[in-house]
Each structure stands twice: as structure tokens, then as C-alpha cells.
Structure 1
Amino acid sequence: MVNPAEVDAVVLVGGMGTRLRPLTLSAPKPMLPTAGLPFLTHLLSRIADAGIEHVVMGTSYKAAVFESEFGDGSKLGLQIDYVVEDEPLGTGGGIANVVPKLRHDTAIVFNGDVLSGCDLGALLDSHATKDADVTMHLVRVGDPRAFGCVPTDSEGLVTAFLEKAQDPPTDQINAGCYVFKRPVIDRIPKGRAVSVEREVFPGLLSDGLRVCGYVDSTYWRDMGTPEDFVRGSADLVRGIAPSPALTHQRGEKLVHDGASVGPGALLIGGTVVGRGAEVAGGARLDGAVIFDGVTVGAGAVIERSIIGFGARIGPRALIRDGVIGDGADIGARCELLRGARVWPGITIPDGGIRFSTDV
């Protein structure tokens, strides 16, 4: 058995940057409001809930923003240290970079862009019971072709790390959470970019170290794309994705204090309406993420989309599976469908764009 109080948690943040960059200029992506809280709050609350006390947060991007939000971690029942990379070091290099801040002989490492319900206590116990050098959290997915696969044998030992393939031999994939014995972390090269997936783990296998897989069927989602960000936020609001940080009643919508919703507006599908936002009567929001200060006009329809801080959506506009950047102004009757991305501050006049096939 592992005492969680004798485990370091390492959180590598910044992985949500490039794929969500069109969305907003206001904050690092791991700090974006997700079901009303900075995304990382959900992960940190799970760490605290598992009894882990010490967290090392490693980042190379806007590090001061994280420290300003979370401070020393005491509000979450944690002790947080911060380590900044002078240049991006990759997942493996990021782990090696935090070594001076580690306090214990066991460390659990998290990719900071994953929303998960994994039982961390059970993961740590599995690591101890199997006397693993490294334990990887693995999840099963319906279509593993988009991911690298991690097959295991009958004892749960990892046998290979396979690249994406059209006919993968297993549906098990890397879930972005690992438990390390401290000596294994000390093996990782320091001062250069290192991929834990492509360099560190294959090297451990070739050297005969004991790398185990912990497979479960709990909630898991990589939040690196706008589509997954919307879905993950909705799942938190509806209670499908667990988070000890959430205290609101689960349901079809979450409307924050200071927001206003006009008569006849329909909010469903795990929609979130941010502080100070205004949703006019007759609007329909289905699985939408509406950030603070947004204005949604009468009769507008927003489905499975992200609307950035302070943006304006005109009356009877339709936005479906799109991303609208901070401060953008989408005119009345505009129609933006799947894949549409509007950069921050852009104005589209009334009726300025349609995706329909009719004239």
C-alpha cells in the first residue's frame, strides 16, 4: 500500500495551447473556465481528494498566471511548488525538470489537459502491489486508430508502445497519467526536450524495467480540441464527469451569478453561461460554453460551440460546432457551421456569412 501523503503529484501544464489557441487571448488554456472553474481546479481537487498533499506544477507558458490563481495551494488543501521551463522540454523533459522540487520516493505525473475520473488511490495501490517501476493509467476507447496503443500481457505488464495504426492490436491507450519510482525519474535526461511516450517508456522496456498498465473504465477525455473542451464542460455540468471541486446541482445548464437569461430562452445539454453574460429571450443554447461578458441576441441558436470572453452573437445567428474568439462580433442572421473559427476581435456584419446550400 502507498501512503498518498508520501507521494508527489507532478502536473505538466500547457498541453492545451496550440489546438485551442484561436479561442482566446485572455488566459492559458488550462485556466479556461470549465463548468465555471479554471480547468486545472478539477484535477487539483482530485489530487487533494486522494490524500496527496504536495504538487509540483511545471510549465513553460505564462507561469505567473498559475501561481496567481492557486498560490501555495492551501485553499485546495495542497502544498504547491512551481517550476518554469526556460524553453519547452516535452513531457519527459518536463518531468526531469521538476526533480529538485520532489520530496518523496514515488511521484504521480499528470498531463494537464486531461479530464479523468480515475481512482488515484487504486492506481497507487496497483503500483505498489505489482512492485512496478512505472505504472501507466490506460483506458479503452471505441476507436483506437487515432491513438498510439499500449498492449499488456496477462499479468498487466506493458509489452510495447505502438504508433497509430489502421488495425491496432488493442483498444488500450495511454491516458496521460503515470506513477514513477523516483530512481526512474532520475534516469530521464535533463536539460533537453524529451518525449516520455516515444523515448522514455520504450527505453524502460528495452532495459528490462517493470512497466505495468492499470486499465479501468472510468471517465476520460483529452481536452485539447475545441470539440472535446465543449463535451468535457457539458459532462461536468451534467454530472457525467466527476469533479470534487463542483458543488452545484448537476443538470442541463449552469448559469453563473451576474448572468441574465431572457424569457423563453432554452438552455440544455450542459450549457454554461458565464458571469455577466446576457442571453436574450428566444435564444437556444445546446451544449454551449458561453464565457463571461458574452451577449447572445434574441432567437440566436448556439450548439456545441465555444463563445469567447466578451463576444457578441447577433439576433437569429446560428453557430454550430464552432469557436468564436474573445471580443468577436457576429452579426444578426449569420450562419457558422462545423469547423468555423472566428479569431478574437473580428467583426462579421449582419447577414455577412452563411453556410446553407439554399439562397
Structure 2
Amino acid sequence: MTDVAIVLAGGLGTRLQSVVKDVPKPMAEVAGRPFLSYLMYFLSTNKIKKVILAVGYKYEIIKEYLKIPENRYGLEITYSIETELLGTGGAIFKAYEQVEGDSAFILNGDTFFDISLSDLEAFARSNSADLAFALLETEHSSRYGSVNCASNGQILAFKEKNANLNIKTIINGGIYYMNKSLVSGTPMPAKFSMEQDFFERNLHRLQAYGKVYQALFIDIGIPSDYTLSQELLKNIIA
């Protein structure tokens, strides 16, 4: 099984400024711990061994926190440091320079989605997919773009979010599995959006699949869900 994960931890957290200040978004305190600690715990329980943190804004705060072994849950931590904002795509491609194997999991640093990573990889391999998304059905569609899939899970389209529409829809849950060959085989600029510039524009040539999971999901990117996370995650770490 793939035992390397990239965590996008360079977000500025501009929508959280009213409740969280002066720290990178993954370091926002949730139920007495930095949100990042829940991701580290999740990765360790999913048999991940190495975590590459794609960092930028005030990354020294993250390094200071994770220098203590008790905060790492047995994980090897390395850093892919942005000296300027590269966008999600630029950050991921830069982080893949530290991936020694042929694949890695990628996680958003502001979402927690309690799925089985081994199941997601098995799903990808069973479909010969080079890209596999953990998907979620939600009624809060106005906050997210949607994902259209065929009956076998192959992704047919990514759609932009519609701020005026709230209906049940399938969204990207913020975790996916990706073969390194996609990075080495796709020239991209240093700065780009993984979602718009890579996924959407290259979907026609990608073996991209998605699987819907029924699992705890929380996105701390806005104050209301950040408040909700205080209750939902307080007993997650054993």
C-alpha cells in the first residue's frame, strides 16, 4: 500500500480571520488541539509512514509544533516550503519532488474526512485509475463544486460551485490518490490551480475515478463549520 501523504498546509485562512488569527489555518485550535493533529492521527491510523507538508504562511509555527515526537504519531515529517504562493497545483507538484514511490495520497489541510485510505487505493487499482477521489454527498452544494461520475465511478465532469443553489450533490471530499506519473508526464507552470488548471482541463486524458463514502466530514474553512468541528472532533483521537 502507498504509505506517503501530502498535506496542503499553506492556506492563509482568510475566511477564518474572525475566529483564528496569526497562525496557518491547519494550526487553528479544535477541541484543545491544532486541527493538524487530527490529520496526523488520521494518517497514522491509516498506516501512512511519511507525510510531506506543503507549507508557506508562517510555516515555522507548524515546524515548532511537530518537532515534538508526541505530536507526530510516529510519522516521518518533511516539508515542501513555498517562498511565494504557488496555488494548489504548484504546491502539490513541488511536494511530489519528495515522493520516492509511484503514488501518494493528497489531503486538504482544512478538511477531515474519516475514510479508509487503503480502500481508496484498492478502488483506484481495481479500475487502473491514476487518480481516485474520495467523494461525499452533501446538501451544502453552494459551497462546493460538484463531481459527475458514471455508474462505474469514472469521473465525467467537474462543475463549478453555484452560490445560489443548495441541493444534494456529490463533491470532492478533499482526499485523493494520485500516481506520480501524472506529475512527471504533465508539464505545468510553477503556479497553477490543481482543480481548474489540471483536473478540469486534462480530464479527457486522465483515468480519473471517484468513490462516494459515508463518513465523518468536516471543513473548517468557514467560521460556522470551524465552530461545529469543536464538538465533532473532540473524541476522535484515542
Common topology (TM > 0.5): yes
1:85–1:188: structure 2 CA closer, same or farther, 3 Å change rule? farther
- TM-score with structure 2 setting the length: 0.91
Q: Secondary structure at the match of 2:156?
A: coil
What is the number of residues matched between the two proteins?
A: 236
Identity %: 30
Map of 2:201 onto structure 1: 203
1:190–1:63: structure 2 CA closer, same or farther, 3 Å change rule? farther
Cα distance in 1 for residues equivalent to 2:57 and 2:145: 26
1:228–1:168: structure 2 CA closer, same or farther, 3 Å change rule? closer
Amino acid paired to 1:14: G
Cα distance in 2 for residues equivalent to 1:99 and 1:27: 25
Greater RCO structure (CA 8 Å; 6+ sep): 2
1:219 equivalenced with 2:216 (yes/no):
yes
Of 144, 151, 154 in structure 1, the residue corresponding to residue 141 of structure 2 is: 144
Of 159, 162, 177 in structure 2, the residue corresponding to residue 162 of structure 1 is: 159
Q: Retained in 2: the 8 A contact 1:72–1:78?
A: no
Return the index of the structure with the highest Cα Rg: 1
Q: Retained in 1: the 8 A contact 2:3–2:47?
A: no
1:45 equivalenced with 2:41 (yes/no):
yes
* CA apart distance, 1:151: 0.7
1:117–1:82: structure 2 CA closer, same or farther, 3 Å change rule? same
Any gaps of 5 or more consecutive residues in structure 1?
A: 248-359
* Deviation string, structure 1 residues 162-220 (Cα, Å, up to 9, x no partner): 112456997101111111011012245455221111111123312x2210001111111
Q: Retained in 2: the 8 A contact 1:116–1:221?
A: yes
Map of 1:119 onto structure 2: 116
* Deviation string, structure 1 residues 204-250 (Cα, Å, up to 9, x no partner): 312x221000111111121111111010111123x5xxx3xx23xxx
1:29 equivalenced with 2:25 (yes/no):
yes
- Once the two structures are superposed, the pairs formed by residues 185-200 of structure 1 within 5 Å of their partners are 185-189=183-187, 192-200=190-198
- TM-score with structure 1 setting the length: 0.62
Of 82, 86, 91 in structure 1, the residue corresponding to residue 83 of structure 2 is: 86
* CA apart distance, 1:21: 1.8
Q: Retained in 2: the 8 A contact 1:16–1:223?
A: no
1:140–1:108: structure 2 CA closer, same or farther, 3 Å change rule? same
Map of 2:15 onto structure 1: 19
1:25–1:89: structure 2 CA closer, same or farther, 3 Å change rule? same
1:164–1:100: structure 2 CA closer, same or farther, 3 Å change rule? closer
Amino acid paired to 2:29: P
1:198–1:170: structure 2 CA closer, same or farther, 3 Å change rule? farther
Map of 2:53 onto structure 1: 57
Cα distance in 1 for residues equivalent to 2:167 and 2:28: 36
- Once the two structures are superposed, the pairs formed by residues 261-300 of structure 1 within 5 Å of their partners are none
Q: Retained in 1: the 8 A contact 2:142–2:165?
A: yes
Cα distance in 2 for residues equivalent to 1:194 and 1:184: 15
Cα distance in 1 for residues equivalent to 2:12 and 2:227: 13
1:133–1:204: structure 2 CA closer, same or farther, 3 Å change rule? farther
Map of 1:294 onto structure 2: none
Cα distance in 1 for residues equivalent to 2:69 and 2:77: 5
1:228 equivalenced with 2:225 (yes/no):
yes
